[in-house]
Structure 1
Amino acid sequence: MKLEKKPQTDEEKIVTTITELKEQFREKQKNLVYLLVGSLSVVLILSVVYIYTTSSKSKAAEFEAEGYKYFYGARGNDAQLMYLRALEAFKNAYNTRKSAYALLYIANCYVELGKFDDAITTLNDLISNFSDPINLSFAYHKLSWIYMKKEDYQKAISTLENLKKIKGAALQDLAYFQSAIIWEMAGKTEQAQAEYKELIVKFPNSPLTSQAKAKIK
């Protein structure tokens, strides 16, 4: 025998409707809480990242300032000690916040300490990990200078060729001039003359142009 469902009274219908609305409201509240928690988590993460980044920049800047003090204050009998302290400071700066600028100064410290191989390794790290044309140009130029000091003229020339290829790089006029000097040292007059001529054509306003013109035979 099938039982017939007793129809709800108006009062019961109102109670049922209110109950359903309460349930819907609770569900919306729950979803809102989840949304707020999620939003707060994102804000918290972003805040932590911002604070960490700002703190890292500030700390790295402190180490760099310390490095400059020692590097540019290196004189007399204490020069080597000052360069060692500068090296430590710039390494701390780099470990705190990676930057090409810190690597350049680390390499400069190694050069002043006579550790050319360490300087070469550092500059190659910079070239491999950073793409800023200005810092790259300084790295390549310093690298070529080190190879010249080591009398590895072929590597010095190839390094300067890499500098010339960087679009928008600084020191490109110097790269041509320095290449010419290296070719002259190697007794390659024709190659040296070609470098001077290219410098004059490509960089007519360079302060090195007048010197290059004086070298043309």
Structure 2
Amino acid sequence: MEEMMRVTKEELKKDNLLLDIENIAEFFKGMWQKHRDRIIVGLLIGGVAVLFLIIFIFTSIRSNNEASRKFNAALLTYANTNMSPADRYGSAKKAFETVLEEHPRTTIASDLRQYLANCYFFLGEYDNAIETFGKNATGLGSGSRAIYAMEGIGKSYEGKGDIQTALQTYRDAVKKYPRHFLVALLHMDMGGCYEKTGKQNEAAAEYQKTIDMDSGSLFAKDARTRLSLMGR
């Protein structure tokens, strides 16, 4: 009797489970019949969204690859010392401009801008250089390239003969990145500005700061050379 009751309970449990499954199935069936059109539209929209995402990813990859290929070709011109500076930087400038125009959202946009700004600088197009360096100086966080961009701005102001603005640019960079190793380079730049304005003591102080930061660096070696030329 107890065995029969136990079996009956197990069977009841199975029956209840089957009933639950049937109820769940009926629920989803009812939901499908009631909202079939909406569900189909939702699936279609989701599928289209996924398709567009896949297309976007592949298009971006293709665009970046194409931009990189053209960038590397432009670098060969940029580094070709057999060309005159005007031809070398002029041709490279046009190539970098074209890549940025065709691929404005490429992942190497900051590299393109840096080299393009260098071309502007070497060609004496200082206002264009300042504008282009500025985009990297404000958009690259605290990395070395951001500091090089700020230095490029300072050098461009020096090229324009605006030594005071150049000095202020270097000071701003030192203040913004006080612990970066390239601060030694910025002190060299400031020393050069002071030399141009005849302020020998201030120049010597900046060169000494470079040496104090890392006496074994190439920057320090250059600083010692400049101090020696000043008779210090």
Alignment of 1:74-85 (within 5 A): 75-76=82-83, 79-85=85-91
TM-superposition CA deviations, 1:108-154 (whole Å, max 9, x none): 22223232222222222332444352221111222222222333211
1:67 maps to which of 60, 64, 74? 74
Paired with 1:141 and 1:133, the residues of 2 have a C-alpha distance of 13
Paired with 1:200 and 1:184, the residues of 2 have a C-alpha distance of 17
Decide whether the 8 Å contact of 1:183 with 1:191 is kept in 2: yes
Decide whether the 8 Å contact of 1:64 with 1:90 is kept in 2: yes
Where structure 2 has 5 or more consecutive residues not aligned to the other structure, the ranges are 1-21
Partner of 1:152: 162
| TM-score, normalised with respect to structure 1 | 0.74
2:64 maps to which of 41, 47, 57? 57
What is the CA-CA distance between 1:177 and the residue it aligns to? Answer: 1.7
Task: Point out the more displaced range, 80-89 or 21-30.
Answer: 21-30
Alignment of 1:1-217 (within 5 A): 21=26, 24=30, 26-27=32-33, 30=36, 33-73=40-80, 75-76=82-83, 79-95=85-101, 96-98=103-105, 99-131=109-141, 133-167=143-177, 169=180, 171-212=182-223, 215=227, 217=232
Decide whether the 8 Å contact of 2:116 with 2:132 is kept in 1: yes
Decide whether the 8 Å contact of 2:137 with 2:147 is kept in 1: no
What is the CA-CA distance between 1:84 and the residue it aligns to? Answer: 2.7
What is the CA-CA distance between 1:175 and the residue it aligns to? Answer: 0.8
Decide whether the 8 Å contact of 1:66 with 1:86 is kept in 2: no
Distance 1:56 1:208, change over 3 A: same
Decide whether the 8 Å contact of 1:180 with 1:191 is kept in 2: yes
Query: What is the percentage of aligned positions where both structures have the same residue?
Result: 21
Where structure 1 has 5 or more consecutive residues not aligned to the other structure, the ranges are 1-16
Q: Give 1:197's aligned amino acid.
A: Q
Decide whether the 8 Å contact of 1:73 with 1:82 is kept in 2: yes
Decide whether the 8 Å contact of 1:63 with 1:93 is kept in 2: yes
Distance 1:73 1:210, change over 3 A: closer
Paired with 1:45 and 1:169, the residues of 2 have a C-alpha distance of 43
Paired with 2:41 and 2:173, the residues of 1 have a C-alpha distance of 55
Decide whether the 8 Å contact of 1:56 with 1:97 is kept in 2: no
Determine helix, strand or coil for the equivalent of 1:97. coil
Task: Point out the more displaced range, 26-35 or 170-179.
Answer: 26-35
Distance 1:140 1:170, change over 3 A: farther
Distance 1:93 1:198, change over 3 A: same
Q: Give 2:49's aligned amino acid.
A: V
Determine helix, strand or coil for the equivalent of 2:124. coil
Distance 1:40 1:171, change over 3 A: same
Distance 1:59 1:176, change over 3 A: same
What is the CA-CA distance between 1:103 and the residue it aligns to? Answer: 0.9
